[in-house]
């Protein structure tokens, strides 16, 4: 299952009158202005990306026939549970993961999959317990370290999250979310060079994911490297033009450049995609909605 990696940015508290004034701000003030609290790494890193085809009646029927042919095989329930989860059928996914674990209490992958479902249902203690169980069974399971790291970061436990991401990386994970998650913490600590290195590694592992491009772009902004930031935000939009964060980030560069008309259009597009996305609402208020 894919995780979309992210908490919303903090509400913007600063007002920018012209690009020169914005460019003069220190890095941490700049990050606060665009609302950093952990980039939306899995967007798009905290939730399952719903794919209705995975939960289609045809796909579920096919997976059910496999289970019926061998009802004591926990793998079949794990696979169908994953399909239910991707299809947004969380209760049915839970039932299948429960059955897989009942058949094989050492099935650490099923624990991690169930943890992701719990997280999407807002049951964070249960999710943490399942990641802990998976790691107790297999201390080298990078997926569980990344998943638990995301939970810790969501809870504001950045040091614990950093340790989990670093552990997954030390295990040789090929999952770009580990680098993206650790990069976000470096970013919050204003260690922008280290953050950019991690985001670049995440991009090399997940070149079709917009999250690390948005993350890296924000670190470039903190270094007043607007050109590279703008390129990253634009590429994030090219990869997925339905992410409000990408449009708000692009708008922020336009705002720094003093181009209020383009900033307004991009902020408005972000609000249209996600009316609750506070950085876009704040940006639109700064540049004048409908002006």
Q: Given this model, what pLDDT does residue 57 score?
A: 82
Structure tokens at 23: 């460019």
The pLDDT tens digits of the residues spanning 51-93 come to: 666 667 888 999 999 999 999 999 999 999 999 999 999 999 9
The pLDDT tens digits of the residues spanning 148-157 come to: 999 999 999 9
Question: Average pLDDT over the chain, rounded to whole?
Answer: 85
The neighbouring-strand residues paired with 4 are 47
Q: Given this model, what pLDDT does residue 290 score?
A: 59
Which of the residues in the chain have pLDDT under 50?
1-25, 37-46
Domains and CATH numbers, the chain: 5-42+175-291 (1.25.40.10), 47-139 (1.25.40.10)
For residue 221, give Cα distances in angstroms to 193, 230, 273: 12, 9, 23
Q: Given this model, what pLDDT does residue 280 score?
A: 95
């Amino acid at each position: 299952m894919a995780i979309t990696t992210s908490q919303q940015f903090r509400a913007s508290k600063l007002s920018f009158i012209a690009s020169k004034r914005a460019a003069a701000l220190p890095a941490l003030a700049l990050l606060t202005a665009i609302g950093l609290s952990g980039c939306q790494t899995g967007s798009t890193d905290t939730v399952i990306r719903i794919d209705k085809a995975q939960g289609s009646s045809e796909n579920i029927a096919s997976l059910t026939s496999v289970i019926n042919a061998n009802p004591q095989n926990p793998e079949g329930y794990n696979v169908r549970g994953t399909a239910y989860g991707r299809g947004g059928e969380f209760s049915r996914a839970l039932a299948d993961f429960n059955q897989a674990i009942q058949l094989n209490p050492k099935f650490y992958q099923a624990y991690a999959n169930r943890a992701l479902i719990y997280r999407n249902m807002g049951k964070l203690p249960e999710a943490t317990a399942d990641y802990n169980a998976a790691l107790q069974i297999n201390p080298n399971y990078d997926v569980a370290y990344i998943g638990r790291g995301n939970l810790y970061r969501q809870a504001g436990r950045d040091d614990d999250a950093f340790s989990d991401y670093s552990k997954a990386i030390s295990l040789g994970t090929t999952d770009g979310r580990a680098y993206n998650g650790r990069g976000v913490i470096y970013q919050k600590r204003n260690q922008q060079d280290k953050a950019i290195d991690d985001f670049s590694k995440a991009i090399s592992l997940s070149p079709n994911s917009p999250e690390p491009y948005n993350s890296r772009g924000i670190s470039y902004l903190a270094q007043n490297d607007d050109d590279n930031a703008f390129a990253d935000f634009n590429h994030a939009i090219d990869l997925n033009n339905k992410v409000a964060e990408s449009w708000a980030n692009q708008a922020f560069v336009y705002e720094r450049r003093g181009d209020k008309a383009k900033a307004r259009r991009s902020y408005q597009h972000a609000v249209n995609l996600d009316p609750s996305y506070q950085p876009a609402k704040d940006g639109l208020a700064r540049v004048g909605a409908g002006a």
